[in-house]
A and B are shown apart, each in its own frame.
Chain A
């Protein structure tokens, strides 16, 4: 509500200092804490420039928002910009499709602090490449990639199945079929006869990965997002990649 002066200065007589002080005190209180709510503000008078910008906290590598976005990315200028992964399972069980070992990939999504419950929309894109696995030199292994996150001090990974993607081993065509759970060629089967090592096949196995995910009504707190891989090759990497996280507060 608008300011109301408690005292009226009389038009004649001796000025009472308490009248002035009372009005100033009321004004101070009004300015400092009583401007609130739609009744004090006109309709359609504020633009987006009035909204607080998202803050980047370099110490904790976090973003905080009123409503906004965090973006980031790496281009493939240098090999050191790549987000590498490797299979850390011992050789005896490397070729086990039922044993997932998830590894976080460098620079693939932000950490965010939510002041309140919010929806988060994350879009992601990257080139992926998986070198040939040397333990089993035939077949095509599928490395699964998913977005996952942890909240606050709880280190349990929460996977986001909306982001399920695959990076395929660029193997030689010396043996038929997939070695992993999925076939990069689908139900069509292997595209050529045995012995074909044409680079066209490797090009077909090196694919762009892109997705958008929506996470609804996440409660307030610290979130650490990352793309995780269940690596099935000794060496793979994301090259050029970009991500964007948008926060939409709901309460």
Chain B
């Protein structure tokens, strides 16, 4: 909406009806399309918004119980603490082009079972078996079958660093053990962004799934509480 001007009259001028009508008519025309030119910064409060979900919308999955999901797979598998519920958040919407989806994920690993001896290898891989990893996978379709896209992977260690031959603690009998300290009940937390580059409405985002794997099947990763929070930032 442009700035509405008023007519300037000098002493003795005889204004016409059209001149007197003009400012009101200009306001009537311009007020049909008010935009940021005539509005102050910070003017929009929550009271001005009929449905705040047009701005941001939250999708979430929460498992906050104590039942552990055991992972011994060396390839990514979904997490299912309590059947039939997988750790996944349903989306089912079609984003606009360049729309952003932000994903936060966190959880707690539980009573892990680790073969510590693998930390004692003096040659490569120097104990890298004692790692586990998480992945957030986005499931989507472009009108056809469902596809899967990784939007991030995050790795953690079952033990403190003790690989190689230099860092280790010594048993009371003086024998070097070369093992790290096993780490159970530690939290994990990460986040990722997905920006949709395609044409608006051409892709349906179906769900985001939390998956996990271990580097070595002799280790058991036990996942306790976990959650996924997706924030759809609309444009």
Report the minimum CB–CB distance from A149 to chain B (whole Å).
15
CB of B18 within 8 Å of the partner chain: yes
A4–B114 CA distance with the chains assembled, in angstroms = 77
Beyond A49-B41, A66-B46: 14 further Cβ-contacts under 8 Å? A2-B31, A3-B24, A5-B21, A50-B42, A66-B49, A67-B55, A188-B182, A191-B180, A198-B169, A198-B170, A200-B180, A200-B181, A203-B160, A251-B52
Contact B44 A50 (CB under 8 A): yes
B229 within 8 A of A: yes
CA distance A12 to B17 in the complex (A): 7
**Given contacts A9-B17, A203-B160, is CB(A2)–CB(B28) below 8 Å?**
yes
Asked whether A188 and B36 contact (CB < 8 A) given A5-B25, A182-B184, A203-B181, the answer is no
Q: Tell me if A192 counts as interface (CB < 8 A to partner B).
A: yes
Interface-located stretch among A70-78, A83-91, A209-217, A225-233: A209-217
Task: Name A164's contact: one of B17, B47, B108, B220 (CB within 8 Å).
Answer: B108
Lowest 4 CB-CB distances: which A-B pairs, in order? Answer: A186-B184, A204-B181, A195-B172, A198-B169
Pick the contact of B62 from A23, A162, A200 — CB < 8 Å?
A162
Closest to A115 in B: B46
Q: How many residues of B contact A (CB 8 A)?
A: 79
Query: Interface code A195-207, partner B: CB below 8 Å = 1, 0 otherwise?
Result: 1101011011101
B25: which A residues are within 8 A, CB to CB?
Answer: 5
A250 adjacent to B52 (CB under 8 Å): yes
Contact A161 B28 (CB under 8 A): no
Measured CA separation A211–B189 after assembly (Å) = 6
User: Does the CB pair A188–B114 fall under 8 Å?
Assistant: yes
Q: Is there contact, CB below 8 Å, between A8 and B21? A: yes
Query: For chain A, which range describes its interface: under 10, 10 to 19, 20 to 34, or 35 or more residues?
Result: 35 or more
- Does B82 reach chain A (CB closer than 8 Å)? no
Query: Could you tell me which residues of chain A, from 19 to 43, have a CB within 8 Å of some CB in chain B?
Result: 20, 23, 27, 30, 35, 37-38, 40-42
Question: Is A92 located at the chain interface by the 8 A CB criterion?
Answer: no
* A187 in contact (CB, < 8 A): yes
Within 191-228 of B, Cβ neighbours of A (below 8 Å) are at: 191, 220, 222, 224-225, 227
> Which of these binds chain B: A100-108, A118-126, A129-137, A150-158?
A118-126
CB-CB under 8 A from A45, the residues of chain B are: 34-36
